[in-house]
Structure 1
Amino acid sequence: MVVPVSASNTIAPVRVTPHRASAKEGARQAQIHRLLPKPLLIVILAALLVFSMVPVLYIFFASINSDLAVARGAFWPTELTFENYSKIWTTVDLGTGLVNSVLVAGGVAIVCAGLSVSTAYVLVRYAFRGRLLVLRGLLALQSIPGTLLLLPVFVLFSSAASTLGVQIIGTRWGLFLTYLTFALPFSTWVMVTYLRGLPRELEEAARLDGASPFKILTRIIVPLSWPGIVVSGIFAFLLGWNDVLFASVMTRPESRTVAVSLQIFGATQEGGAVPVYGQMMAAALVCAVPVVVLYLIFQRYLVGGLTAGGVK
């Protein structure tokens, strides 16, 4: 790296050879190697890779295999066929379920990511009466099982529908409100933990320059908080994508999510002579693709967001 230095009214290039970042990275790698010998580290990583990839490979091979071969317990496909991937769109009605899941879970993720960063900023940077009570309440909400709140939420939405004359149960936005109730406290707590690690000096400098609180939030806090925002949004997305309990009660056939469609499809195949295992495995893989793509896209943000607050 070349740094200009002024001396005697001239500018001469000075070459700087040491790199602190690379030195720290090398020291960190050396500590890891001292903790675990390299052969043992390779064996552990290989075992973890096999442990995680064998079930995925079995599902893929079963999706391109015949139902009889899968029922006999065959791991390798005896005959390759990709018809299962074309049949699931009519057998399981996978298209409607995917659209509903993307709309509901994606909407919950976007709203949670936007509201959690602003709410957490107020809770972390401002002192007001009831602040600690709100923080403790957010933490206490995470310890309540969702199954205990299924009946109260259903009764609340039913009463609101009869009082206001607006249909809530069986609609997409009703399911959106349900997921938002559980996802927003967790996303806010994630952002509270992340914002506590941001330096206050940047905000104080912006405030001295005349920036308003809204401008500080949008121009400084949000750009620096992308890892935490992504983590809170992805966890909110997974809550809506994987849920079966609330979606099976709060939806109708036209608003059913993909998780409920898979659950119903698997239940209907239990009484058959030879269940369509190939279509079930193909549908499971297709439903897992959006989540895998989401993780691959935001992987670098997830690492920073999940480890935020761990080192001070």
Structure 2
Amino acid sequence: MTSTLATRPGASAVAVDRPGSRQQSQVTRLLPNWLIVVVIGVLALFVLAPVVYIVLASLNSDISVARGDFWPAVFTPDNYANIWTNVGLANGLMNSIIVAGATAIVSAALSIGTAYVLVRYQFFGRLTIMRALLALQSVPGTLLVLPVFVLFSSSATYLGLQVIGTRWGLFITYLTFALPFSTWVMVTYLRGLPKELEEAARIDGATSFGILTKIILPLSWPGIIVSGIFAFLLGWNDVLFASVMTNPTSQTAAVALQIFATSTEGGAIPYYGQMMASALVCAAPVVFLYLFFQKYLVGGLTAGGVK
């Protein structure tokens, strides 16, 4: 079908829009270009305005920030130098990186094997296990703080194992909550992988473990990255469990910031500038993590959306 229709010589040509043409897309577009630019600009302003204020406040003096000055009279990096002694951020960052990093690695490694079994094998109780993993996501963490604390504190009495105040005790706590979510992420991702690849490998004599390590694992990196990053964020941002499961030597960066903010809240001049600098330093690893694995995040989060 052509875009013009000529009936006879001298007749006027009638334009017919093809489906999917530019004219049709312009007609069916919900918003005009200028309005889309305005909406995006307003949303970007709401997102970037607090970030800009935090950056400016971190380069300002505590007195000026407490006075409400937005733009610093003198840009000074003293806040970034003082937080390492006043906040004790170095020890907290080291503990957060160790605990959250170990949680992300172990959770991602265990979730891919668990998800592969749940997706590719049929056995009694399979649906029950998957429903139980989903049900665990609906339990609020505040309801589990006291049971987890009592359980871990009792281990020192009955088993002779000191769990409270240790990094590995906090790691086990985070792994308990991160593993169900990571498993569900990998279940969704593995359902989108074609079974023909595994069947071809079995014809060639590959074992189940060989298929998992040589075929499934290389194809599942986007899902693994997504599950690992979410597990990392769980340990990095948590304050509730870290505040009751740690001591001054094993406390995380989030707990260090909470203690610093609470201790200086009643002072004559709150250390607002140092709080902003500490917040930026603690947020920097997560931002760099997202930027580095951005292409994997897009593929992993959209897996299973289109069949």
Q: TM-score scaled to structure 2, two decimals?
A: 0.90
Does the alignment pair 1:162 with 2:157? yes
The residue number in structure 2 matching 1:146 is 141
Aligned sequence identity (%): 71
Number of aligned residue pairs: give it: 285
The code of the aligned residue for 1:133 comes to T
Distance in 2 (alpha carbons) for counterparts of 1:108 and 1:37: 46
| Residue deviations 1:183-202 (CA, integer Å, cap 9, x gap) | 00110011111111111111
Deviation at 1:36, TM superposition (A): 3.5
Does the alignment pair 1:48 with 2:43? yes
Does the alignment pair 1:58 with 2:53? yes
Does the alignment pair 1:311 with 2:294? no
| Residue deviations 1:4-53 (CA, integer Å, cap 9, x gap) | xxxxxxxxxxxxxxxxxxxxxx99xx69x934432222122211211111
The residue number in structure 2 matching 1:83 is 78
The residue number in structure 1 matching 2:100 is 105
Change (3 A) 1:36 1:200: farther
The code of the aligned residue for 2:249 comes to E
Unaligned residue ranges in structure 2 (runs of 5+) = 1-20
The residue number in structure 2 matching 1:279 is 274
The code of the aligned residue for 1:76 comes to W
The residue number in structure 1 matching 2:109 is 114
The residue number in structure 1 matching 2:283 is 288
Does the alignment pair 1:298 with 2:296? no
Unaligned residue ranges in structure 1 (runs of 5+) = 1-25
Which has the higher Rg, Structure 1 or Structure 2?
2
Does the alignment pair 1:127 with 2:90? no
Distance in 1 (alpha carbons) for counterparts of 2:266 and 2:213: 56
The code of the aligned residue for 1:304 comes to G
The residue number in structure 2 matching 1:187 is 182
Does the alignment pair 1:94 with 2:89? yes
The residue number in structure 1 matching 2:255 is 260
Deviation at 1:180, TM superposition (A): 0.4
Alignment equivalent of 1:73, drawn from 64, 68, 72: 68
Deviates more, 1:38-47 or 1:286-295: 38-47
Q: Secondary structure at the match of 1:135?
A: helix
The residue number in structure 2 matching 1:236 is 231
The code of the aligned residue for 1:44 comes to V
Q: TM-score scaled to structure 1, two decimals?
A: 0.89
